[in-house]
Amino acid sequence: MSVAIITGSCGLVGSEAARFYHHKGLDVVGIDNDMRAYFFGKEASTGWQREALQKELPRYTHVQADIRDEAAVHSLLQKYGRDIALIVHTAAQPSHDWAAKEPLTDFGVNGTGTLVMLEGLRRYAADAPFIFTSTNKVYGDTPNRLPLVERQTRWEVASEHPYYVGIDEEMSLDHSTHSVFGASKVAADVLVQEYGRYFGLKTGTFRGGCLTGPNHSGTMLHGFLAYLAKCAVTGREYTVFGYKAKQVRDNIHSADLIAAFDAFFESPRAGEVYNMGGGRDSNISMLEAITTCERVTGQPMKWSYKDEARIGDHMWYITDFAKFQMHYPQWKITYDCDRILTEIIGENRDRWLTA
């Protein structure tokens, strides 16, 4: 028996990973206690996704455990031991706005929870690759120091600038404002690297841009494209914070992200770090995303603007994933933002309107 352990298995990336590795022939053990509902309220609950996984995947086992609970997590990892072929760690407190309300909870989940998983890996499944979903927020607001140019619908980097193609892994993590969330993810990010470099474990850290797709339980504080699409469909007002609504994000579909995870799984490295996002293939500004939603839904959006930007937020972020493609040249982006938004709306419209 080969087992994939997936934390946050009912979230966007976790559920995509659960389906992928189940279809690949692995038994899947998902760890998820629906803290997303605690963070963001009932509408953000991933309970619907848990029910779908349990219905669709006969070899899926759900474990209602908290990753901060060392005894529960280590007991589980010890139980499966050498059968563990892979650990995908996606569970997190994902919002930098929410983190400021409960910093201890945020660090407990993101920092301590990751350490619990890593120590369980070292003790009970040291041969298994460990994949961690980090974030581009580890770079803090350093990207805002780039020489940005204002265009009609977006902020942009001049085409002759070295970072025009995107931000690579050499950008400093230091001397910037991260948000409490960004700081807790830096701690986790460095721990994952250290367990690879110090203990020789096969750990891969993926610093994601905006991760998205139709399985996202988007909410106001997290999941910008999914929540924007939900507002577009339901008529709810969407609020844009700062930067003249021209802030740019690259967006990677969860299927493309899991394809990258699988490339690492098949040929893992120790303590490696990759920036991972949509890059120049899949990026969009807030104004452009609103226009796209209006075109896909065929109706105008209700949205408002507040001039004050969120602390530590990026004006422009596009990923340079050249390092990953150098290591895994078979991988490529298959979804752009237009296709992503069309799919999110198409697959969720009925559920949103009847909720």
- Check if the beta carbon of residue 50 is closer than 8 Å to that of residue 62: yes
Mean pLDDT of the chain: 95
Which CATH number goes with the domain that contains 238?
A: 3.40.50.720
Give the residue-averaged pLDDT of 328-346.
96
DSSP 284: E
Distance between CA atoms of residues 323 and 207, nearest Å: 12
- 281 residue type, one letter: D
Q: Exposed, middle or buried by CB within 10 Å (0-12, 13-18, 19+), for 83?
A: middle
Q: How confident is the model at residue 220 (pLDDT cuts 50, 70, 90)?
A: low
Q: Which pair of structure tokens corresponds to residue 203?
A: 């750990």
Long-range contacts for 58-61 (Cβ within 8 Å, ≥24 apart)?
Answer: 59/22, 59/26, 59/27, 59/28, 60/18, 60/22, 60/27, 60/28, 60/29, 60/30, 61/27, 61/28, 61/29, 61/30
Q: How confident is the model at residue 312 (pLDDT cuts 50, 70, 90)?
A: confident
Q: What's the pLDDT score for residue 43?
A: 82
Q: How confident is the model at residue 214 (pLDDT cuts 50, 70, 90)?
A: confident
The domain containing residue 140 runs over which residues?
Answer: 3-354
Write out the H or E segment, with its range, that includes residue 234.
helix 224-234
Distance between CA atoms of residues 24 and 102, nearest Å: 39
Domain count, the chain: 1
* CA 247 to chain centroid: 19
pLDDT of 221 > 60? The answer is no
Give the residue-averaged pLDDT of 199-227.
85
Q: How confident is the model at residue 250 (pLDDT cuts 50, 70, 90)?
A: very high
For 257-302, write each residue's pLDDT tens digit. Answer: 999 999 999 999 999 999 999 999 999 999 999 999 999 999 999 9
Strands (E), the chain: 3-7, 27-31, 60-63, 84-89, 130-135, 148-150, 155-157, 203-208, 210-212, 238-241, 248-253, 272-276, 283-285, 303-306, 316-317
Q: What is the pTM of this model?
A: 0.94
- Check if the beta carbon of residue 248 is closer than 8 Å to that of residue 210: no
Q: Which pair of structure tokens corresponds to residue 266?
A: 């098949």
For 123-157, write each residue's pLDDT tens digit. Answer: 999 999 999 999 999 999 999 999 999 999 999 99
| 276 phi, psi to nearest 5 deg | -140, 120
Q: What's the pLDDT score for residue 223?
A: 64
Q: Is 351 helix (H, G, I), strand (E, B) or coil?
A: helix
pLDDT of 121 > 70? The answer is yes
| 287 phi, psi to nearest 5 deg | -60, -40
Termini Cα distance of the chain: 39
pLDDT of 206 > 80? The answer is yes
Of 15-19, 76-80, 220-224, 266-270, the least confident: 220-224
Q: How confident is the model at residue 212 (pLDDT cuts 50, 70, 90)?
A: very high
Of 51-60, 72-81, 115-124, 212-221, the least confident: 212-221
